């Protein structure tokens, strides 16, 4: 780095110890001096929109996605209520496209491909976000059966199928020579 006249930016550089928890506990917890910059290891780092933890469990990533999406759902649900109060005519077509597009801006859709071998404990919170978004868009009661409505009226895929679709789309674009989104 010195020969190329490069320096670390201590405010942007993150360090994480990755491994099995019984081994990571023996790694130094104090700041490390790297190229003249003191960097303290952290338990989570963010890289290209993906939150990684020291065990690569992706639980931190799912937690981040769900918290941001719930914020977006709540924010847009308030907008939907305001539209209803002023009797503006906004159809289901517009609302079903508004919600996923707003959530996609806040958490890039391509980061879901890191969940290609998910466990049920990781999929459940994401499916819950999808159901909450459907409740906000369809304006139906909480007890309404949503599984069929999500597929038939909104044309949204369940989370496991969505991940498979994103992976298949990415593979197709790589094979066909198209630039991935």
Indicate whether 127 pLDDT > 80.
Answer: yes
Cβ atoms 11, 39 nearer than 8 A: no
The continuous run of DSSP H or E covering 167 comes out as helix 159-176
Q: Give the helix ranges, DSSP H, for 19-150.
A: 21-24, 59-85, 92-106, 120-138, 146-149
Cβ atoms 128, 135 nearer than 8 A: no
Read off the pLDDT of residues 3-23 as tens digits, 9 standing for 90 and up: 777 777 777 888 888 888 888
What is the C-alpha separation between 170 and 118, in angstroms, rounded?
Answer: 18
Q: Where are the domains of the chain?
A: 1-42, 59-176
Cβ atoms 145, 138 nearer than 8 A: no
pLDDT classification of 83: cutoffs 50, 70, 90: low
Q: State CA 145 to chain mean position distance.
A: 25
Residues 6+ apart with CB under 8 A from 115: 58, 61, 62, 122, 123, 126, 163
Read off the pLDDT of residues 102-119 as tens digits, 9 standing for 90 and up: 555 445 454 665 666 567
- Residue identified by tokens 């391509």 is 110
Q: What pLDDT is attached to residue 106? A: 45
Q: What pLDDT is attached to residue 147? A: 79
Question: CB-hemisphere CA count at 13 Å for 73?
Answer: 19
Mean per-residue pLDDT of the chain: 76
Average pLDDT over residues 118-147: 79
Q: Rounded to whole angstroms, what are the CA distances from 9 to 17, 53, 164?
A: 19, 21, 37
What is the C-alpha separation between 49 and 65, in angstroms, rounded?
Answer: 10
Cβ atoms 57, 18 nearer than 8 A: no
Read off the pLDDT of residues 41-62 as tens digits, 9 standing for 90 and up: 888 888 877 888 888 888 888 8
What is the C-alpha separation between 158 and 119, in angstroms, rounded?
Answer: 15
């Amino acid at each position: 780095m010195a020969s190329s006249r490069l320096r670390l930016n201590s405010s942007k550089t993150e360090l994480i110890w990755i491994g099995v928890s019984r081994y990571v506990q023996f790694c130094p917890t104090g700041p490390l001096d790297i190229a003249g910059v003191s960097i303290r290891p952290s338990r989570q780092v963010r890289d290209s929109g993906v939150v990684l933890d020291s065990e690569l469990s992706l639980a931190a990533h799912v937690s981040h996605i769900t918290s941001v999406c719930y914020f977006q759902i709540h924010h847009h649900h308030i907008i939907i209520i305001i539209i209803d109060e002023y009797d503006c005519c906004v159809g289901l077509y517009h609302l079903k496209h508004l919600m996923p597009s707003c959530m996609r801006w806040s958490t890039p859709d391509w980061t879901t491909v890191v969940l290609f071998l998910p466990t049920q404990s990781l999929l459940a919170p994401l499916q819950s976000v999808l159901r909450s978004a459907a409740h906000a868009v369809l304006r139906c009661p909480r007890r309404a059966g949503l599984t069929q409505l999500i597929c038939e009226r909104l044309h949204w895929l369940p989370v496991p199928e969505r991940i498979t679709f994103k992976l298949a789309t990415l593979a197709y674009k790589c094979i066909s020579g198209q630039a991935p989104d």
